[in-house]
A and B are shown apart, each in its own frame.
Chain A
Amino acid sequence: MSSSILKLTIANVAKDLRLEWRSRDVYNSMVFFAVLVVVIFSFSFEPTSEESRHIAGGLFWVAFLFSTVVALNQSWARELRNGVLDAYRISPAPPEALFFGKVLGNFIFVTALECLMVPLFVVFYNLSSAGSLWQLLLILVLGTWALVITGTFFAVMSIRTRNRELMLPLLLIPLSIPAVVNMVKATSNVLTADFSAVPHIKFLAVYCVVFTTACFLLFETVLNAE
Chain B
Amino acid sequence: MKSKLYPFFVGLVFVLLSYGTYQGLVAAPPVEELAAGGEAQRIFYYHVPAAIVSYTLFFLNFVASVIYLFKRNPAVDAFAVTTAEVGVVFASATLALGMIWARYAWGHWWAWDMRLTTFLILWLLYVSYMLLRKAAEAGSSPIMASALAIIIFLDVPFNYMANRWFRGNHPEPVTLASPALKYALFSNMIAFLAFAAVIVWFRYTLERVEQRIAAVHAQRAAQGMLSLALPAVIFFQTSHGNPIRYTYAGYTVAWVIYIGYLLLLTRRVARLKREEQELRRDL
Which chain A residues have a beta carbon within 8 Å of chain B's beta carbons? 150, 153, 157-158, 160-163, 167, 170-171, 174-175, 177-179, 181-182, 185, 203, 207, 210-211, 214-215, 218, 221-222, 225-226
Could you name 13 residue pairs across A and B whose Cβ atoms are closer than 8 Å? A170-B128, A174-B121, A174-B128, A175-B155, A178-B161, A178-B162, A179-B162, A181-B162, A211-B154, A214-B150, A222-B144, A225-B139, A226-B140
Whether A157 pairs with B148 at a CB distance below 8 angstroms is yes
Q: Give CA–CA (A222, B162) in the complex, Å.
A: 28
Closest to A213 in B: B154
Category for how many chain B residues contact A: 20 to 34
Whether A218 pairs with B150 at a CB distance below 8 angstroms is yes
Whether B135 pairs with A163 at a CB distance below 8 angstroms is yes
Given contacts A161-B135, A163-B135, A177-B162, contact A221 B69 (CB under 8 A): yes
Given contacts A179-B158, A214-B151, contact A225 B135 (CB under 8 A): no
Whether B135 pairs with A167 at a CB distance below 8 angstroms is yes
Give the chain B neighbours of A157 by CB distance below 8 A.
132, 144, 147-148
CB distance from B116 to the nearest CB of A (A): 14
Q: Give CA–CA (A171, B127) in the complex, Å.
A: 9
Q: Give CA–CA (A181, B158) in the complex, Å.
A: 11
Give the chain B neighbours of A161 by CB distance below 8 A.
132, 135-137, 144
Whether A203 pairs with B162 at a CB distance below 8 angstroms is yes
Give the chain B neighbours of A181 by CB distance below 8 A.
162-163
Whether B128 pairs with A182 at a CB distance below 8 angstroms is no
Closest to B139 in A: A226
Give the chain A neighbours of B135 by CB distance below 8 A.
158, 161-163, 167
Which among A150, A153, A160 has the highest number of chain B CB atoms within 10 Å? A160
CB distance from A210 to the nearest CB of B (A): 6
Q: Give CA–CA (A93, B223) in the complex, Å.
A: 54
Give the chain A neighbours of B144 by CB distance below 8 A.
157, 160-161, 222, 225
Give the chain A neighbours of B162 by CB distance below 8 A.
177-179, 181-182, 203
Give the chain B neighbours of A182 by CB distance below 8 A.
162
